[in-house]
């Protein structure tokens, strides 16, 4: 989701109090508050697919999958990850956590730089975080940063399977992009139709 600056410097307490009554979500980065814009159809489909796949896998685990509305506190900032899994944090705050196991951000032109730099640096400071995942919405490309790989990333494309180490879960790239309408997915579906016809 795109960010636009909304207010000058606020304390964390002022920010958290304001978010409880605001009709618009804001992210908080080192005292600056940014209003969040709405998401595209492709963005929402990817988030929904990840939620469904993660939640089904974790239904008997002491973990919860959150999308969009639950904040994460990292360094001196608060963010609304697109998808995050939190385990064994029953005593945490009702509105944010600092114990995510995995975080997914769906990239757009407006958020790409923030997701790849500011959020990556902040999220890496969280001791609980094992994986940070960046998913493109305009083409098929998934990048996974893993703590066990010293935060070096691996990329996955159509035809690949992604192993989410922190969840012990393997998902095909095509399942993550199910019903998403971009050029890569159109090409993939056309190839499937040709294979079925021959």
The pTM (predicted TM-score) of the whole model is 0.90
User: Which pLDDT tens digit goes with each residue over 79-101?
Assistant: 999 999 999 877 778 889 999 99
Query: How many C-beta neighbours within 10 Å does residue 190 have?
Result: 10
What is the spatial distance between Cα 17 and Cα 194, in angstroms, rounded to a whole number?
Answer: 56
Q: Is the domain covering 40-197 a CATH 3.90.1570.10 domain? A: yes
What distance, in Å, lies between the first and last C-alpha atoms of the chain?
41
- pLDDT value of residue 3: 47
Name the burial class of residue 133, with classes exposed (0-12), middle (13-18) and buried (19+) by CB atoms within 10 angstroms of its CB. buried
> What's the token pair of residue 183?
């050029």
User: Which pLDDT tens digit goes with each residue over 140-192?
Assistant: 999 999 999 999 999 999 999 999 999 999 999 999 999 999 999 899 888 88
Domain ranges of the chain: 40-197
User: Which pLDDT tens digit goes with each residue over 138-149?
Assistant: 999 999 999 999
What is the spatial distance between Cα 190 and Cα 67, in angstroms, rounded to a whole number?
Answer: 31
Name the burial class of residue 28, with classes exposed (0-12), middle (13-18) and buried (19+) by CB atoms within 10 angstroms of its CB. buried
- pLDDT value of residue 1: 43
């Amino acid at each position: 989701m795109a960010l636009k600056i909304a207010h000058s410097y606020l304390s964390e307490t002022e920010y958290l109090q304001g978010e409880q009554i605001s009709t618009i979500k804001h992210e908080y980065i080192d005292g600056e508050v940014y209003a969040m814009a709405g998401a595209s159809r492709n963005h929402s489909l990817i988030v929904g697919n990840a939620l469904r796949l993660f939640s089904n896998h974790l239904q008997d685990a002491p973990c919860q999958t959150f999308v969009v509305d639950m904040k994460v506190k990292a360094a001196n900032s608060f963010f609304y990850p697109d998808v995050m899994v939190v385990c064994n944090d029953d005593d945490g705050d009702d509105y944010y956590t600092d114990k995510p196991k995995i975080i997914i951000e769906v990239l757009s032109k407006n958020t790409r730089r923030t997701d790849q730099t500011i959020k990556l640096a902040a999220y890496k400071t969280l001791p609980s975080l094992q994986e940070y995942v960046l998913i493109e919405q305009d083409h098929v490309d998934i990048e996974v940063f893993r703590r066990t790989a010293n935060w070096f990333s691996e990329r996955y494309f159509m035809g690949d399977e992604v192993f989410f180490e922190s969840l012990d879960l393997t998902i095909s790239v095509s399942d993550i992009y199910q019903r998403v309408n971009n050029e890569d997915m159109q090409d993939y579906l056309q190839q499937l139709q040709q294979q079925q016809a021959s």
